[in-house]
Amino acid sequence: MRPAIATYGILRFIWTWNDYQNPLIFLRSEHLLTLQLGIRKFADAYGEFYSLIMAGSVIAIVPLLIVFIIGQKQVIEGISLGGVKG
């Protein structure tokens, strides 16, 4: 059960981290915005600041990579156990 629970935990973290719609609906204060909503603020009526958007995207990906690297063994084991009959 440990690989399956670890896989679910890692995938749930990734889904929650990348959530865009729920924080957009529920958060009204500017200082509570998530990183993804903050990246969206770099696009305005005068254009898009691609350098800032790409820098923010790299910063947003770093925690996901760290979590995946730490739990990589459990994810691979959980997927292989779930996909094999027997």
Spatial separation of the C-alpha atoms in residues 59 and 65, rounded to whole Å: 10
pLDDT tens per residue across all 86 residues of the chain: 787 788 888 889 989 988 889 898 998 888 888 888 888 888 876 788 888 889 999 999 999 999 889 888 888 887 777 666 65
Spatial separation of the C-alpha atoms in residues 35 and 26, rounded to whole Å: 15
Q: How far is the CA of 67 from the CAs of 6, 47, 60, in angstroms?
A: 11, 34, 12
pLDDT of residue 66: 92
pLDDT of residue 85: 63
Is this model's pTM higher than 0.75 or not? no
pLDDT of residue 86: 56
